[in-house]
C-alpha cells in the first residue's frame, strides 16, 4: 500500500473528481426540463438550422440573434418591423405572452405562465 502525504492525496482526489465530471458532462437539469417544454414548439420550430423549414424559423442560435434574421424565412411584417436582439430577457417576455410582446401576430402558442418553465426552455434553446 502506498502512503501519500495528505495534501497530495487530496489534490489527486480533486483531480479525479474533475476528470470524472468531464467524462460525464450532461446538459444542466434545467435544459433537460426545457427540452420537455419544447414539445409546445415543435409543430412550428426546430432547433437545427439544417432541418427542413417549418411554419416558424429554426431556433438554433436564437439567443443573441437579431429578430427576424433567419435567411430565407418569410417573417410577418410585424416581426420585420422590430429591431432587437433575442436575449434571455426578451425571450422570457416572449415566452410568457407572445401576443402581448408584438401586436398583430397570430400564433397558436399562448405562452408559458411559470417563470421556471420559461427559464428551462431558454436554457434548452441555448444548448439544444
Contacts (Cβ under 8 Å, ≥6 apart) of 65: 85, 86
Report the C-alpha gap between 7 and 40 in whole angstroms: 52
Q: Grid coordinates in use for 73? A: 424565412
Q: In this predicted model, what pLDDT tens digit does every residue of 71-122 receive, in sequence order?
A: 999 999 999 999 999 999 999 999 999 888 888 777 888 899 999 999 999 9
Give this prediction's pTM: 0.75
Domain count, the chain: 1
Contact of 56 with 79, CB cutoff 8 Å:
no
**19 falls within a domain:** no
pLDDT-based confidence at 27, cuts 50/70/90? low
Alpha carbon dihedral 62, 63, 69, 71, in 10-degree steps, equals: -40
> Cell 479525479, residue?
16
> Which structural domain range is residue 31 located in?
27-126
Mean pLDDT of 54-77: 95
pLDDT-based confidence at 29, cuts 50/70/90? low
**20 falls within a domain:** no
The per-residue pLDDT for 5 is 58
**18 falls within a domain:** no
Amino acid at each position: 500500500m502506498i502512503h501519500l502525504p495528505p495534501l497530495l492525496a487530496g489534490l489527486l482526489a480533486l483531480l479525479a473528481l474533475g476528470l470524472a465530471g468531464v467524462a460525464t458532462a450532461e446538459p444542466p437539469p434545467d435544459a433537460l426540463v426545457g427540452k420537455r417544454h419544447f414539445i409546445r414548439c415543435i409543430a412550428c420550430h426546430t432547433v437545427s438550422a439544417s432541418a427542413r423549414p417549418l411554419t416558424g424559423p429554426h431556433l438554433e442560435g436564437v439567443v443573441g440573434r437579431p429578430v427576424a434574421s433567419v435567411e430565407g424565412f418569410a417573417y410577418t411584417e410585424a416581426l420585420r418591423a422590430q429591431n432587437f436582439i433575442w436575449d434571455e430577457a426578451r425571450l422570457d417576455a416572449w415566452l410568457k405572452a407572445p401576443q402581448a410582446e408584438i401586436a398583430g401576430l397570430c400564433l397558436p402558442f399562448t405562452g408559458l405562465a411559470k417563470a421556471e418553465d420559461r427559464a428551462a426552455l431558454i436554457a434548452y434553446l441555448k444548448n439544444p
